[in-house]
Chain A
Amino acid sequence: MAKIIERRDLMKLAGGAAVGIVFTPAPWKFLDDSSIWTQNWPWIPKPLRGELITRFSVCAMCPAGCALRAQCIGKQPISLFGVPGHPLSQGTLCPLGFTGHHLAYHPSRATEPLRIEHSNDSINVIPISRDLAVAEIAQAIQSKGADECIAVIDSRPGRTVSLLYRQFLAGLAKGVYLCEPTGTCATFDTLQALSEKPIGPLGLDLENTRTLLSFGAPILDGWGTPGRIQSLRRNQSQPDAGKRLQVIQIETRQSRTALFADQWLPIKPGTEAALALGLANVIVREKLFDEAAIRRNAVDFDRSDSRSYLDLVGQFQPERVTEVTGISQDKIVSVAREAARHGPSIALGGGDPAGGPLGEAEEIAIAGLNLLLGNLGKSGGIVGRSEVPVAAEMRSAAAVSPSELAKIPDHSIRVLLMDAAESGNALPWTLIEKKLVSERAVVASLSPYLAGNARQAHFLIPAPAHLESLQEIPTPDGAVRSSFSLSAPLLAPPEGATDPIDFIRSLATAVGVPLAGGSAMDLLKGRASAIYENGRGEIFVFAENKISDIKEAGSAERFWDMLKAGGCWIDAKHEMESAPRFSLLGEPSQGFEKLSASAQGRLQASLPKEYPLVLMPFGWRFAVGNGQVSPVMSKLYQESGLRDMANQAFINPKTGSALGLVDGGQAVVATRQGSMPVKIQFDSGVMPGVFHVAVGPAPNKNEMAKKIDENILEICQAGNDLAWRVTPAQVRKV
């Protein structure tokens, strides 16, 4: 007789199952497995597998030229590290360098030529063929008016393509070659301009310097080659005072260099010229300089017309300079004595990379201080270095001289070519725009990215991205010895990418300008050959980790192969021929008056009532001028606040509270040029009455978006010398 299943049986079964399941591993296994299952979705990326190999190259993201050791799976780099023992970079890379292999995949990457159409504050991009873009740009060049010019902005002068740009411009009726205001070389450029005869490239012998007066230069955070700068920091902690480097940072903002300097002199905004002349006053008054040498070499040190350098510095008594700069008399006197007695000393200008150049008067005053300190051509001072040899055919071809954007008449550029990957964070577009012929101007960018100033162009002819093409690395800024290396490609470029050398050659053919040399590869090979034939210097080979005489390469072909494998040529030390004669005041006619007027600082008198604050933009050199940064840099900018995101404004808590602002709140900055929203952050390191606004970047932002971004530089006020560091402004809470 069949048993009837009763409700009681079902209850027993359920109860037994409930008790039994606790004693089985099933629920725990299920719990565990559910974790595993939920982590194996198809959209979770799976890393490549394969044999790991090491390749060597050189970072081409900025002029520092740091050596790279790339871990690759097949041809795909998966990580980048420094190369220990490398004579220039000393095994160090900056955070951007570690992520260089990401840049080929940047969201704003352009992989084919684009026509960019502008309407109000948005853009529309249309793919076009490279030939059509070249034809249209060529037509614009050929149809330029008599007063109009054709200009190229070179993001990194000194390369072979730079020479080609200059040759191309020399073949046109009115060609203008412009360099970006990098700031790093501003002191050298000024010294060269003040010299009666050319003195060649200059460098800083920082390894033997004892006192470094930095006028806002980010010397310990982004200046020069990172490995070299870190060894300077080690010099700072030398126990032997006689060998120790002392860094004195003169800057309004408590930058990282100010934090790590031996002394920080928080100076009122835009008053650097007054301080430099005040320091010169003390040095002259206390006779802490080589007077005979200065009288011998300076054309305007002491003249009878009461407009000499002596008359000028006589106006800058420490008590007067204190009023202007906010730095105490005692400090001015002690720093001047320190610089003169604890030498060799260098005064370095340049200023913050995003804050823009210091300005002409400031740089002349700083250069004058260097000449007074007698450091030109001396060990531990500003020394000469050789020119990197150039192939004969490139050297003999006609080339236009570099010019400055400030010296170009407004509304005069008909066609503008913007080289490389300028991000727009270190050169405001407004400054470029006012130089363009309104309406009819044609702007072409050779950036690999549709970002920054490239978004303002009419054509984008994308260059290969970082590590996608063979690039030459000229001597890093400030280096004592000339060098040359090649950034060997680790990745293949997209088909639509065009090397700037090939582009300029196509354009030259289209407008009928003959150019020297052949393809990009031929030109670089020609330069390497010229270096080898010159016979000077030595070469460092990564794989062997040794430095050998260049002659040991045996042939130009072998030397080329060594460079391609990541080798680095370093020239012999170069002695400056003799101390040149120079001017301490700049222009003979107006130099005295210009410098004298700088006594009041950039803002001249008191700030206008409606704009009671001073706006000062700032940025990190590695990230503001050289193109895009890896999205992983969001770790520093977005996810930690270690570096400051675009449009973050820093203000002293007292100033902020007085204005009714809230820490972390939103506000609007207004200047005579316009207004812009910012995020307020209180910072006790900020001078009252001043606010500093970061220019970026914003690494996680997709710049392919149609809207043109707002950049704080667009509302900064530029002077006649195109310096935009200090702008009267107001801040309103929103």
Chain B
Amino acid sequence: MDTKPGKSRYGMVIDIDRCNGCGACMVACAVENNVPPAETRATERTGITWLRVFKVDNGESFPENRAAFVPMPCQHCEHETPCVMVCPQNAIELDKQTGIVTQVPVRCLGCRYCMAACPYHVRYFNWWDPKWPQGMEKALNPEVAPRMRGVVEKCNFCHGRLQAARAKAAAAGERELKEGTYVPACVEVCPTSAITFGDLADENSEVAKLARDENSFRFLTRLETEPKVYYRSKQPFVRKFGESALERMKKEAANG
């Protein structure tokens, strides 16, 4: 039963200046969503991390070199979502009620068009059967089904948690989800509270306020995909990642 009458746009704001790259979000994400440990041959290219924390630096040489950590989940693009547009199997949907871009693994044929189309490289292909050491499969999350070799998967803002929060709200006779009752695992475990999650459509929510802040920016805005993951940083070299895309867009516009 859908207890949510209005449209939501779930999104997050990630404060890069607070992120210390501990990786708690990545590990909690894997545990929550039954992402298996790496196969022996897996690499950074072939491994599966629904949320990956990248280390970026300012390009200076020692000792002026400085680095920061940038967590990259699926950006949940709102407009002309690239992966949705190319999927031949209708395995990816932009849920209009929540704004979440969902992946339906059982429909996926593994053609990987979506991976090629995603400008953020946040989609991962199962190159191997999911395997856990003997006995560890007992510790899997019952709310999430393990995926098979040959399908693509990605962050869905812990959709199982959304369903659980909705069920809980419905049981309490509430139609709206209160702020903070549904948060993905990465948000719950972040020790520095670097990730704020909520409904961007609710102007009074913390996440919406932070998203409007002048220090917030999004990646690759020139593509106009309207991602729902915002970043914050006061460090110029970090902000440059977002701004350089804008500069390029201006140049392209100027050059016709």
Q: Cβ of B215 < 8 Å from any Cβ of A?
A: no
Picked from B31, B52, B67, the residue with its CB within 8 Å of the CB of A99 is B31
Picked from A41, A73, A98, A685, the residue with its CB within 8 Å of the CB of B62 is A685
Tell me the complex Cα distance, A95–B26, Å. Answer: 8
> Which of B126-134, B198-206, B246-254 binds A?
B126-134
Q: Cβ of B21 < 8 Å from any Cβ of A?
A: yes
Contact check, B32 vs A79: say whether CB atoms are below 8 A apart. yes
Contact check, B20 vs A233: say whether CB atoms are below 8 A apart. yes
| Min CB gap A628→B, angstroms | 11
Contact check, A39 vs B22: say whether CB atoms are below 8 A apart. no
Picked from A47, A77, A106, A636, the residue with its CB within 8 Å of the CB of B26 is A636
A48 / chain B contacts, CB cutoff of 8 Å: 138, 140, 142
> Which of A189-197, A202-210, A220-228 binds B?
A220-228
Q: Given the known A-B contacts A44-B129, A102-B136, are A632 and B30 also in contact in the complex, defined by CB atoms under 8 Å?
A: yes
A264 / chain B contacts, CB cutoff of 8 Å: 63
Picked from B32, B109, B139, B191, the residue with its CB within 8 Å of the CB of A226 is B191
Q: Given the known A-B contacts A44-B130, A78-B140, are A635 and B66 also in contact in the complex, defined by CB atoms under 8 Å?
A: no
Contact check, B189 vs A636: say whether CB atoms are below 8 A apart. no
Q: Scan A636-651; emit 1 where CB is below 8 A from any B CB, else 0.
A: 1011111100000000
Tell me the complex Cα distance, A499–B62, Å. Answer: 50
Contact check, A47 vs B22: say whether CB atoms are below 8 A apart. no
A259 / chain B contacts, CB cutoff of 8 Å: 66-68
B2 / chain A contacts, CB cutoff of 8 Å: none
Interface centre among B63, B145, B147 (most CB of A within 10 A): B63
* Smallest Cβ-Cβ distance to B63: which chain A residue: A266
Q: Cβ of B12 < 8 Å from any Cβ of A?
A: no
A38 / chain B contacts, CB cutoff of 8 Å: 148, 150
Q: Which of A192-244 contact B (CB under 8 A)?
A: 220-221, 226-227, 230, 233
B105 / chain A contacts, CB cutoff of 8 Å: 39
Contact check, A105 vs B139: say whether CB atoms are below 8 A apart. yes
| Min CB gap B161→A, angstroms | 11
Q: Which of B117-172 contact A (CB under 8 A)?
A: 129-130, 132-142, 144-148, 150-151
| Min CB gap A383→B, angstroms | 25
Q: Scan B91-120; emit 1 where CB is below 8 A from any A CB, else 0.
A: 100000000000001111100000000000
Interface centre among B18, B31, B49 (most CB of A within 10 A): B31
Tell me the complex Cα distance, A105–B189, Å. Answer: 23
Picked from B31, B57, B129, B134, the residue with its CB within 8 Å of the CB of A684 is B57
Tell me the complex Cα distance, A654–B136, Å. Answer: 45
Interface size class of A (residues with CB under 8 A): 35 or more
Contact check, A82 vs B189: say whether CB atoms are below 8 A apart. yes
B44 / chain A contacts, CB cutoff of 8 Å: 638-641
Contact check, A78 vs B139: say whether CB atoms are below 8 A apart. yes
* Smallest Cβ-Cβ distance to B67: which chain A residue: A259
Contact check, A684 vs B37: say whether CB atoms are below 8 A apart. no
Q: Cβ of B42 < 8 Å from any Cβ of A?
A: yes
A489 / chain B contacts, CB cutoff of 8 Å: none
Q: Cβ of B211 < 8 Å from any Cβ of A?
A: no
A78 / chain B contacts, CB cutoff of 8 Å: 139-142
Q: Which of B45-81 contact A (CB under 8 A)?
A: 47-49, 52-55, 57, 59-63, 65-69
B27 / chain A contacts, CB cutoff of 8 Å: 95, 98-99, 630, 632-633, 635-636
Contact check, A639 vs B43: say whether CB atoms are below 8 A apart. yes
Q: Cβ of B245 < 8 Å from any Cβ of A?
A: no
Q: Cβ of A589 < 8 Å from any Cβ of B?
A: no
Contact check, A94 vs B43: say whether CB atoms are below 8 A apart. no
B43 / chain A contacts, CB cutoff of 8 Å: 638-639
* Smallest Cβ-Cβ distance to B55: which chain A residue: A642
Q: Scan A699-715; emit 1 where CB is below 8 A from any B CB, else 0.
A: 11000000000000000
Contact check, B38 vs A686: say whether CB atoms are below 8 A apart. no
Contact check, A45 vs B24: say whether CB atoms are below 8 A apart. no
Q: Cβ of A345 < 8 Å from any Cβ of B?
A: no
Q: Which of A670-714 contact B (CB under 8 A)?
A: 684-688, 699-700
Q: Cβ of A142 < 8 Å from any Cβ of B?
A: no
Contact check, A642 vs B21: say whether CB atoms are below 8 A apart. yes
Contact check, A634 vs B47: say whether CB atoms are below 8 A apart. yes
Contact check, A684 vs B61: say whether CB atoms are below 8 A apart. yes
Q: Cβ of B89 < 8 Å from any Cβ of A?
A: yes
Q: Cβ of B177 < 8 Å from any Cβ of A?
A: no
* Smallest Cβ-Cβ distance to A40: which chain B residue: B148
B89 / chain A contacts, CB cutoff of 8 Å: 31-32, 35
Tell me the complex Cα distance, A221–B59, Å. Answer: 23
Q: Cβ of A294 < 8 Å from any Cβ of B?
A: no
Q: Cβ of A256 < 8 Å from any Cβ of B?
A: yes
Contact check, B63 vs A45: say whether CB atoms are below 8 A apart. no
Contact check, A81 vs B189: say whether CB atoms are below 8 A apart. yes
* Smallest Cβ-Cβ distance to A631: which chain B residue: B37
| Min CB gap A677→B, angstroms | 18
Contact check, A36 vs B106: say whether CB atoms are below 8 A apart. yes
| Min CB gap A335→B, angstroms | 15
Q: Given the known A-B contacts A44-B146, A634-B37, A684-B57, are A98 and B31 also in contact in the complex, defined by CB atoms under 8 Å?
A: yes
Q: Scan A21-49; emit 1 where CB is below 8 A from any B CB, else 0.
A: 00000000001100110111101111111
Contact check, A254 vs B65: say whether CB atoms are below 8 A apart. yes
| Min CB gap B89→A, angstroms | 7
Q: List 27 A–B pairs whose Cβ atoms lie within 8 Å, in order of A's numbering.
A: A35-B151, A41-B148, A49-B142, A76-B139, A78-B139, A78-B140, A94-B22, A101-B139, A105-B132, A105-B135, A220-B20, A226-B191, A230-B192, A254-B65, A256-B21, A266-B63, A631-B38, A632-B30, A632-B37, A635-B23, A636-B23, A639-B42, A639-B43, A639-B44, A641-B44, A642-B53, A653-B61
Residues of B within 8 A of A (CB): 18, 20-24, 26-32, 34-35, 37-40, 42-44, 47-49, 52-55, 57, 59-63, 65-69, 89, 91, 105-109, 129-130, 132-142, 144-148, 150-151, 188-189, 191-192
Instruction: Please provide the 4 A-B residue pairs with the shortest distance between their CB atoms, ordered closest to farther.
Output: A639-B47, A631-B37, A634-B38, A45-B137
Besides A639-B44, A684-B57, A684-B65, 7 new A-B residue pairs in contact (Cβ under 8 A), listed by A number: A35-B89, A36-B106, A78-B140, A79-B32, A92-B191, A221-B22, A652-B61
